[in-house]
Chain A
Amino acid sequence: MNCRYVQSRLSAYLDMELTGHEHQLIRSHIENCIECSTEFERLRRTKHLLRQLPVVQPSQGPEAVLVRLRAQRATVSQNAVIRVGWRSVRWWQMAVGAAAIGVFLWWNSTVAETPSDVTFASSTPKPLLFRSSSEPSLFRMRSPLPSEMLNPVPFNQPVFSTPILPTNYYPAHNSVPSFEGLYHTFYFQSR
């Protein structure tokens, strides 16, 4: 076994990455060869210096990553709305939309004729879509539903009532499946 061969194996020997037999051969050579044992000692010190390097502490934590992840998830769900909204509209969705327009027009005219002291509108619990903008949303960065995009709504009704809040305002995870999650599903299914 010549020195050249031994020296080409010294790092692997140092790292205990040789087979038992080869390890033994290198070891017995090093014990009897000054040149190779000197070279081995230098490599050992180099590794030692590397291992002594301290773990570097980042100046900021993982928040920046989490914020960017949330933004990315929101973007994906918005793209999905566009794709799903215009691709997979079925006839019955069209029919429901048309019916909704009819019902709304009828309801609108009824309300217009009702005297102002009737408390019908304000005492009724507000459905989700008509929630006032001051209430925090259950959903992070909620995007319009496909049905919302199809059904015309009165101009004075806040349909997209979700206030835009700082990202950290929203809980990281909801206990209920979010709409954006559903959009994810559609997005991946339609690809």
Chain B
Amino acid sequence: MTHTAIAQSMEQELLDREFDALVMRYYQQVYNLAYRLTGNAADAEDLTQEAFLRAYRFFDRYDPTMPFMNWISRILTNLYIDEYRRRKRLPTLSIEERFENEEGEEGEQLDIPDPGPSPLDIAESNQYKEAVQEGLMSLAPEFRTAVVLADVMGHSYEEIAEIMNTSIGTVRSRIHRGRKQLRDIIQRKYPELFERGDLK
């Protein structure tokens, strides 16, 4: 056993220790992101675990100038979009291809199930929250990811572009279209949320 080998093993030990500390520190935040993307606890937990394990495997490539949360968000959203495509057997065609030529109102008509009659006496804000999460689940994964990164996780467009490995223009378009689709879904169910007057 050479001195170099021993030194390297100590280095590995330190890296392992550092990584374990990162797991403990960011687990909840990462889980929250996973939950808002998958919409349920079981999938969120699986996704969180897989993201951390993959991050560990590539930890030697981690550039510490990037916040760890951003780096693991990139790994997690990649995993999520891949897995989503695999499960739904959707083609991995670029969203931009589908929207390239349009600029205005007409978004893609997603197949959104009719939410049914909306109760008029909704006072519980929890119901709104459920509606928001349900609405998120109806978005295409790229739109949902961009919207969640911006509005739930509070990232800037520049950070989202880095996390999703795309341009700022694409991020802007995904967030805008995602929000508009979400608004339509929520408005159909709870129109009072968009009537005149202050937000609750």
Give Cα A74–Cα B157 distance, bound, in whole angstroms. Answer: 40
Give Cα A68–Cα B19 distance, bound, in whole angstroms. Answer: 13
A-facing residues in B125-168 (Cβ within 8 Å)? 125, 128-129, 132-133, 147-148, 150-152, 156-157
Q: Name the one of A46, A68, A178 contacting B53, with C-beta atoms under 8 angstroms.
A: A68
Give Cα A76–Cα B188 distance, bound, in whole angstroms. Answer: 53
Q: Name the one of B8, B20, B176, B193 contacting A172, with C-beta atoms under 8 angstroms.
A: B20
Across the interface, which residues of A come within 8 angstroms of B194, CB to CB?
A: 41-42, 45
The closest CB in chain B to the CB of A14 belongs to: B179
B48, A65: Cβ atoms under 8 Å? yes
* A46 in contact with B27 given A17-B156, A65-B48 (CB within 8 Å): no
* A45 in contact with B199 given A7-B105, A69-B23 (CB within 8 Å): yes
- In the complex, whether B186 has a CB less than 8 A from a CB of chain A is yes
A185, B8: Cβ atoms under 8 Å? yes
B20, A11: Cβ atoms under 8 Å? no
| Size class of the contact patch on chain B | 35 or more
Give Cα A54–Cα B133 distance, bound, in whole angstroms. Answer: 11
Give Cα A96–Cα B129 distance, bound, in whole angstroms. Answer: 70
B27, A56: Cβ atoms under 8 Å? no
A-facing residues in B23-47 (Cβ within 8 Å)? 23-24, 27-28, 31-32, 35-36, 41, 44-45
- In the complex, whether A15 has a CB less than 8 A from a CB of chain B is yes
B-facing residues in A21-72 (Cβ within 8 Å)? 41-43, 45-62, 64-66, 68-69, 72
* A56 in contact with B36 given A184-B12, A185-B9 (CB within 8 Å): yes
A50, B147: Cβ atoms under 8 Å? yes
A174, B56: Cβ atoms under 8 Å? no
Give Cα A73–Cα B13 distance, bound, in whole angstroms. Answer: 10
* A56 in contact with B35 given A50-B152, A62-B27, A184-B12 (CB within 8 Å): yes
Across the interface, which residues of B come within 8 angstroms of A46, CB to CB?
A: 179, 182-183, 186
A11, B129: Cβ atoms under 8 Å? no
B200 shortest CB reach to chain A, Å: 9
Across the interface, which residues of A come within 8 angstroms of B1, CB to CB?
A: 182
A-facing residues in B56-86 (Cβ within 8 Å)? 56
Residue among B49, B151, B152 with the highest chain A CB neighbour number at 10 A = B151
Give Cα A65–Cα B136 distance, bound, in whole angstroms. Answer: 27
Q: Is the interface of A mostly helix, strand, loop or mixed?
A: helix
* A65 in contact with B156 given A10-B176, A42-B187 (CB within 8 Å): no
- In the complex, whether A82 has a CB less than 8 A from a CB of chain B is no
Across the interface, which residues of A come within 8 angstroms of B176, CB to CB?
A: 8, 10-12
- In the complex, whether B110 has a CB less than 8 A from a CB of chain A is no
A54, B129: Cβ atoms under 8 Å? yes
B182, A66: Cβ atoms under 8 Å? no
Shortest 10 CB-CB contacts between residues of A and residues of B: A181-B9, A50-B151, A62-B27, A11-B176, A185-B8, A46-B183, A182-B9, A56-B35, A58-B31, A177-B9
Residues of B whose CB lies within 8 Å of any CB of A are: 1, 5-6, 8-10, 12-13, 16-17, 19-20, 23-24, 27-28, 31-32, 35-36, 41, 44-45, 48-49, 52-53, 56, 103-105, 125, 128-129, 132-133, 147-148, 150-152, 156-157, 172, 175-176, 179-180, 182-183, 186-187, 193-194, 199
Residues of A whose CB lies within 8 Å of any CB of B are: 4-5, 7-8, 10-12, 15, 17, 41-43, 45-62, 64-66, 68-69, 72-73, 172-174, 177-178, 181-182, 184-186, 188-189
